[in-house]
Amino acid sequence: MEGGSFLQRLRKGLAKTREGWVQKLEGIFQSRQWDEEALAAMEEILLSADVGVKATQKLIDAIRRQSPKGEQDTKQDLSLCLQQEIISMLKGTERGTMAPSLSESPWVILFLGVNGVGKTTTIGKVAAKHRQLGKKVLLVAADTFRAAAMEQLEVWGQRVGAEIVKHQAGADPAAVVFDGLHAGKKRKADVVLIDTAGRLHTKIHLVEELKKIRRVIAREQVGAPHETLLVLDATTGQNAFQQARVFKESLDITGIVLNKLDGTAKGGVIVGIQEELGIPVQYIGVGEEVDDLQPFDPTRFVQALFDNSLE
């Protein structure tokens, strides 16, 4: 998350979350005597914000250990303690970076996610970022179930200057991936981004399809996929948790892309998902523009969430 402009957009995007539960917590710090009743109120607020049971308990325990120095310092001390604990939790899982020099060529990124979370748009934005770094990008349209997804990916390819490999609607997704990987090598692509279907209501079939795709990738290129990113919609709250669990049960996920943080009062889901599932949040999105998707920075996120500076 670089540059003041994105931090400003992030602050604005997190306004609903801030008003939804952060300000309520600050109110407890400011107006209540520090006791177990206050802790119980805090716990209720965090759980209602979809922070998750495990993360909530960890945050409450941290606050309980923090002894305010005096009544005048209570709000500042406890708020700072909470912010630092959230940052610590969000930094707790190692995350990769979208480095200008990729260690393998082509660098293969597999994208997962149910329909409607913004997966194809996310791929387009990630492609744009790699193109801005001067990388040659190849898009693979392996969501053959939805013709609209292939068309959307093609539009993104034209928009950002990335080539695309696609088959007819209804084709075998693994066959598209096979062709895409061979095309990536032949065309000397630096990055190959693979879109996949997201029909979670046919869970068993979908998971088997994704496993087959992974087998094809691993067979055609040792060490690939180098990243497997799960795209989630922050506005779905607990549903995002469930989706992450379903995919994690069957597939090795290296990171999460959390979209639509600007459209929800439950941005706390970002804390819960990472703490409970142990999967790092790699990117966050706060809007429709390309620059509204940025690598996740825990400190900047908490600064924007609490609308202050920790420096």
Q: Residues 303, 309: contact at Cβ < 8 Å?
A: yes
CATH number, domain with residue 68:
1.20.120.140
Q: Residue 3 above 50 pLDDT?
A: no
Calculate the average pLDDT of the chain.
87
Q: Are residue 191 and residue 70 in the same domain, yes or no? A: no
Q: pLDDT tens for residues 185-225?
A: 999 999 999 999 987 655 778 889 999 999 999 999 989 99
124 — pLDDT class (breaks 50, 70, 90):
very high
Please say whether the beta carbons of 205 and 173 come within 8 A: no
Whole-number pLDDT of residue 201 = 54
pLDDT at site 265: 81
d(CA 47, CA 57): 9
67, 91, 115 - which closes a domain: 91
Residue 116 is part of a domain; what is its CATH number? 3.40.50.300
Total domains in the chain come to 2
In a domain, 307, yes or no: no
pLDDT of residue 69: 52
The confidence score (pLDDT) of residue 204 equals 74
Non-local (6+) Cβ contacts of 87 within 8 A are 298, 299, 302, 310
β-pairing, 293-295 with 281-285?
antiparallel
Cα–Cα distances (Å) from 116 to 36, 90, 146, 231, in that order, read 41, 26, 12, 10
Tens digit of pLDDT for each residue in 27-41?
A: 887 776 677 888 899
pLDDT digits (tens, 9 = 90+) for 46-100: 998 889 899 999 999 988 887 665 555 556 677 888 899 999 999 876 555 554 4
169 and 269 in a single domain? The answer is yes
Tell me whether residue 305 is in a domain. Answer: no
Burial of 5 (0-12, 13-18, 19+ CB in 10 A): exposed
Q: How far apart are CA 144 and CA 168, in angstroms?
A: 7
pLDDT digit string, tens, across residues 253-301: 999 999 998 888 878 889 988 888 889 999 999 888 888 899 999 999 9
Q: What is the pLDDT of residue 110?
A: 97
**pLDDT higher than 50, residue 113:** yes
Query: 63 lies in which domain range?
Result: 4-91
If asked whether residues 167 and 136 sit together in one domain, one would say: yes
